[in-house]
Amino acid sequence: MSTRHPAPAPPELPGPPAVPVRLLDWRDASHFARPERCVLCRQFTPLRSHDGEPVHKTCAESWNAANPGTARFVSDPPKSGKGKDHA
């Protein structure tokens, strides 16, 4: 006779962040360089912040949401005039 163990409970999904995540606009070529480890998650990324820190855009957006009122990661200034961007 075997005893059955109850199935493990599924992991809980994280809830929505307390502060909405603001997306960063990092379209400029200055945000790309040779891959280095992200300062937040330690995985490799070719992206750079305005200060040259290697960081994934999603890591930077999550950090901004968790640290409101700070200016560590910012968006590019809006381009003047009409460009080829349709987004």
* pLDDT tens digits for range 20-60: 788 999 999 999 999 999 999 999 999 999 999 999 999 99
Question: pTM of the full predicted structure?
Answer: 0.69
User: Chain-wide mean pLDDT for the chain?
Assistant: 84
**31 Cβ neighbours under 8 A, 6+ residues apart:** 47, 48, 49
Mean pLDDT computed over 56-80 = 90
Judge whether 52 and 29 are in contact, CB under 8 Å: no
The Cα 21–Cα 27 span in angstroms is 18
User: Can you give the pLDDT at residue 30?
Assistant: 92
Nearest alpha carbon to residue 20 among 59, 61, 55: 61
What pLDDT does 68 receive?
87
> How much is the pLDDT for 81?
61
